[in-house]
């Protein structure tokens, strides 16, 4: 262990010296992940209730993903997008099969997918319409366009001047949207469940009214499903809960099972607005990452993860409602499927730190909203352990 300690301090030193300090890090060095369990360099195991910030929906190193990657890596890793390969075609077909008739552009991240949606909207507006409505407390990524679409000034501060043409409106407020739409509005972009903004679930009526408004005014309805996609809410894509389809959907995070891939999905009737040369991404949709993503679809299906997400989502929500009765500091519990938020009347840092120390990884967003987003095949036993640890943490903090 002494060696590991030396190694650890060296790692921290090298991070400090050689890596730009854009992240606040917890001092843990992980070496292994399997399903819901992460192991650190000291051999300590953690139940991961926030795997990869929404990346590892099928758990760490799912056998189907590993088999897909192992199979592909010895054959062909990268081929540029001016050629064809079988996995990209298969994956696009699989995404469309689970969503709506359309076509897919592959990139590498959520922000890149949102940039693609913004660029597509500008092309669709043909220079006459360019305004995009997004929501307060939204999160769409860190590139200039996606960051500007993000309705949180804290992320934009210092990076001005920002691109023009964005309007930010309160979430779940259809009247605000109706009054903000002008003849320059070309798109409305939102997350069906806001993740980073605090696990805010869109109302059914709100989404239905947005759909009608977009149809009436020929406005693109864009769903950022970077976090809600790939089964997270108990449907393969969250739009399915609402009985309407978006015109454009953005995917990333869990799509690649841990490998970097993002997708921009555009409905068929407008897909031809993007023409050769208008958009590109060197690494987008490589044979390796698309094969991994096919492994993710296969894992979700073979392990019946959508059903488990619905069952376990309800189970955890019920238990959290009980917890809420016992702890006045919990002001709200909300979510959809296994995307769950617990709002506190105080900062959540001490609680997540306690849980981490006791081997359970959860997250806190917006300072006071705890997030549970376990792998979609989480078991009752694992949930009980996390809930027990959270109860102890809340007790310790109140004392
Ligand atoms: C809803 C949503 N959109 C976009 C992004 C940006 O994704 P990435 O970090 O892959 O660029 C995130 C990341 O958290 C997200 O939650």
Does residue 229 sit in the same domain as residue 118? yes
What pLDDT digit, counting tens, does each position of 4-40 carry? Answer: 556 899 999 999 999 999 999 999 999 999 999 999 9
Same-domain check for residues 151 and 289: yes
Q: Residue 231: what pLDDT? A: 98
Q: Looking at residue 399, what is its pLDDT?
A: 62
d(CA 191, CA 261): 19
Confidence of residue 376 (pLDDT cuts 50, 70, 90): very high
Ligand 1 centre and the CA of 268: distance in Å? Answer: 25
**Has residue 91 got a pLDDT over 60?**
yes
Q: Does 2 share its domain with 119?
A: no
Task: Out of 247, 278, 302, pick the residue that ends a domain.
Answer: 302
Asked if 329 contacts 345 with a C-beta cutoff of 8 angstroms, the reply is yes
Distance, CA of 323 to CA of 317 (rounded, Å): 10
Q: Is residue 39 part of a domain?
A: no
Over the stretch 33-51, which tens digit does the pLDDT of each residue have?
999 999 999 999 999 999 9
Tell me: the pLDDT tens digits for 263-272? 999 999 999 9
**7-11, 85-89, 214-218: least confidently modelled range:** 7-11
Omega of the bond leading into 161 within 30 degrees of 0 (cis): yes
Residue 385, beta-bridge partner list: none
Q: Which atom of ligand 1 is nearest to the CA of 228?
A: 1
10-48 b/e (C-beta count within 10 Å ≥ 16 → b): eeeeeeeeeeeeeeeeeeeeeeebebbbbebbeeeebbb
In this structure, the answer to whether residues 97 and 145 fall within a common structural domain is yes
Within-domain flag for 21: yes
Mean pLDDT to the nearest integer, 149-161: 98
CATH value at residue 189 = 3.40.640.10
Q: pLDDT at position 6, please?
A: 62
Question: 377 in the Ramachandran plot: left (φ > 0), alpha (ψ -120 to 50) or beta?
Answer: alpha
Whether residue 68 is contained in a domain is answered as yes
Token pair, residue 37, equals 């369990």
User: Ligand 1, atom 16: nearest CA belongs to which residue?
Assistant: 227
Question: Do the domain assignments include residue 316?
Answer: no
Indicate the pLDDT class of residue 3, thresholds 50, 70 and 90: low
Pair (166, 225) in one structural domain? yes
Torsion of CA 129, 131, 133, 134, to 10 degrees: 130
In a domain, 228, yes or no: yes
Residues 102 and 233 in one domain: yes
Give residue 361 CA to ligand 1 midpoint distance, Å. 20
Instruction: Note whether residue 132 is domain-resident.
Output: yes
302 confidence band (pLDDT: 50, 70, 90) = very high
Q: Say yes or no: 189 and 257 in one domain.
A: yes
CA of 135 to the centre of ligand 1 (A): 15
Q: How far is CA 144 from CA 17, 77, 110, in A?
A: 27, 29, 13
- Å from CA of 109 to ligand 1 middle: 7
pLDDT above 70 covers a percentage of the chain that reads 98
With 60 as the cut, is the pLDDT of residue 140 above it? yes
Asked if residue 144 and residue 11 are part of one domain, the reply reads: no
Mean pLDDT of 261-288: 98
Closest CA to 203 of 104, 107, 135: 135
Whose Cα sits closest to atom 4 in ligand 1? 140
Which residue is listed with tokens 């027990």?
A: 388
The reply to whether 141 falls in a domain is yes
Domain boundary among 250, 272, 302: 302
Rounded mean pLDDT, 169-185: 98
Model's pTM, two decimal places? 0.97
Confidence of residue 398 (pLDDT cuts 50, 70, 90): confident
What is the number of the ligand 1 atom nearest to the C-alpha of 112?
11
For residue 1, pLDDT over 70 is answered with no
Pocket of ligand 1 (CB under 6 A): 53, 109-111, 114, 139-141, 191, 195-196, 224, 226-227, 252
Mean pLDDT of 102-125: 98
What pLDDT digit, counting tens, does each position of 307-319 carry? 999 999 999 999 9
User: How many domains, in total, are found in the chain?
Assistant: 2
Do 70 and 155 belong to one domain?
Answer: yes
Residue 331 lies in a domain: no
Per-residue b/e over 306-323, b at no fewer than 16 CB within 10 Å? bebbbebbebbbebbeeb
Residues 81 and 16 in one domain: no
**What pLDDT sits at residue 7?**
85
Residue 378 CB neighbours (<10 A): 27
**Beta strand pairing call for 193-194 and 200-201:** antiparallel
Residues 219 and 72 in one domain: yes
Q: Are residue 5 and residue 103 in the same domain, yes or no?
A: no
Tell me the pLDDT tens digit for each residue of 220-263: 999 999 999 999 999 999 999 999 999 999 999 999 999 999 99
Cα(110) to centroid(ligand 1), Å? 4
Instruction: Say whether 165 sits in a helix, a strand or coil.
Output: coil
Of the residues 261, 278, 302, which one is the last residue of a structural domain? Answer: 302
State in Å: Cα 114 to ligand 1 middle.
9
| Cα-Cα end-to-end distance for the chain | 34
Q: At what angle do helices 380-398 and 349-357 cross, to 10 degrees?
A: 130
Domain that holds residue 89: 63-302
């Amino acid at each position: 262990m002494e060696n590991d300690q030396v190694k650890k301090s060296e790692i921290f030193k090298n991070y400090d010296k050689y890596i730009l300090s854009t992240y606040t890090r917890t001092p843990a060095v992980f070496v292994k992940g399997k399903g819901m369990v992460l192991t650190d360099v000291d051999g300590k195991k953690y139940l991961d209730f926030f795997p990869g910030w929404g990346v590892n929906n099928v758990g760490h190193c799912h056998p189907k993903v590993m088999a897909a990657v192992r199979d592909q890596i010895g054959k062909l890793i990268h081929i540029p997008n001016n050629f064809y390969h079988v996995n990209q075609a298969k994956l696009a077909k699989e995404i469309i099969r689970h969503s709506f008739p359309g076509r897919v552009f592959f990139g590498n991240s959520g922000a890149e997918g949102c940039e693609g949606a913004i660029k597509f909207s500008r092309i669709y507006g043909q220079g006459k319409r360019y305004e995009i409505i997004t929501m307060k407390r939204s999160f769409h990524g860190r590139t200039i366009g996606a960051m500007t679409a993000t309705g949180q000034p804290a992320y934009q501060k210092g990076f001005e001047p920002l691109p023009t043409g964005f309007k930010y409106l309160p979430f779940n407020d259809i009247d605000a949207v109706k009054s903000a739409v002008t003849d320059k509005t070309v798109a409305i972009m939102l997350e069906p469940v806001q993740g980073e903004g605090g696990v805010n679930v869109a109302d059914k009526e709100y989404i239905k009214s947005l759909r009608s408004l977009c149809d009436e005014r020929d406005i693109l309805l864009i769903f950022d499903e970077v976090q809600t996609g790939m089964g997270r809410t108990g449907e393969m894509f969250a739009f399915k809960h609402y009985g309407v389809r978006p015109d454009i959907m953005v995917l990333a995070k869990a799509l690649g099972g841990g490998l970097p891939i993002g997708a921009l999905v555009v409905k068929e009737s407008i897909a031809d607005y993007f023409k050769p040369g208008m958009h590109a991404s060197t690494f987008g949709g490589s044979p390796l990452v698309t094969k991994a993503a096919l492994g993710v679809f296969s894992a979700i299906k073979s392990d019946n993860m959508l059903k488990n997400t619905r069952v376990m989502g309800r189970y955890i929500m019920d238990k959290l409602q009980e917890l809420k009765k016992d702890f006045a500091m919990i002001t709200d519990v909300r979510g959809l499927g296994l995307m769950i938020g617990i709002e506190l009347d105080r900062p959540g840092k001490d609680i997540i730190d306690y849980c981490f120390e006791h081997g359970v990884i959860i997250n806190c967003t917006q300072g006071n909203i705890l997030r549970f987003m376990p792998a979609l095949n989480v078991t009752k036993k694992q949930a009980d352990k996390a809930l027990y640890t959270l109860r102890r943490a809340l007790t310790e903090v109140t004392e």
